[in-house]
Chain A
Amino acid sequence: MRSIALHAVFSVLFLLAGARFASAGEPASVVIADLEFKPSVITVRIGDTVTWINKDIVEHTATSSDGAFDVATPKAKPARWRAQKAGDFAYYCRLHPNMTGVIRVTR
């Protein structure tokens, strides 16, 4: 039982290590580099704007799995999406589906 509890604690710490929390009203940025969304998990509040900055040599998209958003992220030009409802939004790049991320929108 104890090892299961320890495992759970470490799992949560691991998830938190890869996540970024934006303060209310603070712009939340995701950098795209080397075919990765960095950070891969970001937490924002309703009304916040997520900005993707693509530093790769190719174009990408940030496309939610549930159809909530489909944002083109061209090279060297910031792309934005405003969070309007709470929930976990898994997203990927339509052009390179090996790129994935999650936006957690809280109230």
Chain B
Amino acid sequence: MKIIAPIVAGFFLATNLSARAADTPTDPQIAHIAYTAGLVDIGYAEIALQRSKNKAVREFAMEMVKDHKAVNDKALALVNKLGVTPEDNATSQTIASQAATKRAELKRLSGAAFDRAYAENEVAYHSLVNAAVDTQLIPYASNGELKELLKVGLKIFQGHQQHAEHMVERLSRKHAASME
């Protein structure tokens, strides 16, 4: 299996794009990374739906399930149409591994503490994914339809990030008010 460690570094440490130009992901790897990133956020949302009683948090989580499923379904339809098999790779594995750690953290929380942790993680996670999609996945996608789907996906995920930022602000205000 081809190791695209520089992509991992770019994804998680925001390293300079030019530092890993020699080793670039293929379309089957890009499709796998994008699909995995979507599944990870659905996983976070499912925990929120199990643990949160906050209406806004639950609505956001339901939106994450629906939106990421819609994008992933579109991606699956595209790879089927193109006759491409998504290829597992080091980046996908790192994303999945880090997500398992975060899911375990979230599952130890409840109530308002869970809501704040979930919302803050949604901002951080979408920020990382959006940077990776924008600066790494879209530029290296060679198939035009895959590139277009990633561009639409990026706009959707940027919307999620803004929505999550608003949720964090509201939860912070509520928390501050409860401390007075």
Counting CB contacts under 8 A, is B152 at the interface?
yes
| Cross-chain contact B163 with A97 (CB below 8 angstroms) | yes
Q: A57-B71, A57-B74 are in contact. Are A98 and B66 (CB under 8 A)?
A: no
Q: Does B152 contact A34, Cβ atoms closer than 8 Å?
A: yes
CB contact under 8 A between A96 and B160, given known A57-B70, A58-B66, A59-B66: yes
Do residues B67 and A58 form an inter-chain contact, with CB atoms below 8 A? yes
A22 within 8 A of B: no
Query: Is A16 located at the chain interface by the 8 A CB criterion?
Result: no
Number of A residues contacting the other chain (C-beta, 8 Å)? 13
| Pairwise interchain contact B152-A96, C-beta atoms closer than 8 A | no
The A interface, classified by DSSP as helix, strand, loop or mixed, is: loop
Task: Render B85-126 as a binary contact track against A, CB cut-off 8 A, 1 for contact.
Answer: 000000000000000000000000000000000000000000
CB distance from A85 to the nearest CB of B (A): 27
* Chain B binding surface SS class: helix
Residue of A nearest to B155 (CB): A35
A97 touches B156 (CB 8 A): no
1/0 per residue A83-105: CB within 8 Å of B? 00000000001111111000000
Residues of B within 8 A of A (CB): 63, 66-67, 70-71, 74, 152, 155-156, 158-160, 162-163, 166
10 nearest A-B residue pairs (beta carbon): A96-B159, A35-B155, A97-B162, A57-B70, A58-B67, A98-B159, A58-B70, A95-B63, A98-B158, A98-B162
